[in-house]
């Protein structure tokens, strides 16, 4: 039985007081969701503040990215070790906005995933096709390339620290969600790739989240599908009531 995950990616939003206000409002709304892995991913500068509020609760802390070196002359970067120090248990790697705007490649994603796993972090490994790729029927090719590229050299024994997030780029922040069927089809494909790269047991155990305009109104249909194990959520994670509604839907 795969434990569902609802992860909120706050992107470039929330100052420290706003972040504290959000998690303070969130905690009582999700305290009964004992069967859901709840994750929030604020900006680096508020990780510590948010950690102090969620400490001892059922909400976990994630960063939105990390570098692969532990320390050194890498101005502007942050390492897995530093994220752990700030209280993170999770880190998002390979988000499409990083790939699109900040030059992230399958190779850098792979280095980051390896470093994060070695430090003990759980990785939310993002993959997904663009609209042009979907329309030219390249979705599965792109997913395969991203999965193989991201997971190269990672042994099956480390997969417990990996959660895949399937996020079709055309559905992120657009209000245009993949249909339940489209999402299920992609998720089944991803699980099949994990099976052929690793084993049936690895595929069965891998959590695969959907991301792309998930809202309280569409979560039930998505999460009821066989291969959809939760959601990575942007916009709807910025308000306590909508994020809590997603968590509580996953708990059911």
**CB-nearest residue to ligand PEP:** 234
Closest distance to ligand PEP from the beta carbon of 234 (Å): 2
Closest distance to ligand PEP from the beta carbon of 230 (Å): 12
Distance between first and last Cα of the chain: 14
Concerning whether 167 is annotated as a catalytic residue, the answer is yes
Q: Which is nearer to ligand PEP, 208 or 233 (CB)?
A: 233
Catalytic residue among 37, 90, 95, 97: 95
Q: Which is nearer to ligand PEP, 82 or 165 (CB)?
A: 165
Residues interacting with ligand PEP, by CB under 6 A? 9, 11, 167, 172-173, 211-214, 232-236
Concerning whether 95 is annotated as a catalytic residue, the answer is yes
Closest distance to ligand PEP from the beta carbon of 218 (Å): 11
Q: 45-72 burial, b if ≥16 CB within 10 A, otherwise e?
A: ebbebbbebbeeebbbbbbbbbbbeeee
Q: Which is nearer to ligand PEP, 124 or 206 (CB)?
A: 124
Closest distance to ligand PEP from the beta carbon of 56 (Å): 27
Q: Which is nearer to ligand PEP, 4 or 235 (CB)?
A: 235
Distance CA 225, CA 103 (A): 33
Structure tokens, 104: 């992230």
Q: Which residues are catalytic?
A: 95, 167
């Amino acid at each position: 039985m795969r434990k569902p995950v609802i992860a909120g990616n706050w992107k470039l939003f929330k100052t420290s007081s706003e972040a504290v206000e959000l998690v303070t409002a969130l905690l009582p709304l999700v305290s009964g969701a004992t069967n859901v892995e709840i994750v929030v991913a604020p900006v680096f500068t508020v990780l510590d503040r948010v950690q102090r509020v969620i400490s001892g609760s059922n909400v976990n802390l994630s960063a939105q990215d990390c570098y692969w070196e532990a320390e050194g002359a890498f101005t502007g970067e942050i390492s897995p070790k530093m994220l752990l120090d700030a209280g993170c248990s999770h880190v998002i790697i390979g988000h499409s906005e990083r790939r699109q705007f900040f030059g992230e490649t399958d190779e850098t994603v792979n280095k980051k995933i390896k470093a994060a796993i070695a430090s003990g972090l759980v990785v939310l490994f993002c993959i997904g096709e663009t609209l042009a790729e979907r329309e030219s029927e390249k979705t599965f090719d792109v997913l395969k390339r991203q999965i193989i590229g991201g997971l190269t050299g990672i042994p099956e024994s480390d997969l417990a620290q990996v959660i895949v997030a399937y996020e079709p780029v055309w559905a992120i922040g657009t209000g245009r969600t993949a249909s339940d069927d489209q999402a299920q089809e992609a998720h089944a494909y991803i699980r099949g790739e994990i099976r052929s790269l690793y084993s049936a047991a690895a595929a069965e155990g891998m959590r695969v989240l959907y991301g792309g305009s998930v809202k309280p109104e569409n979560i039930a249909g998505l999460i009821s599908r066989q291969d959809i194990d939760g959601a990575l959520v942007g916009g709807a994670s910025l308000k306590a009531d909508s994020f809590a509604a997603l968590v509580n839907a996953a708990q059911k």
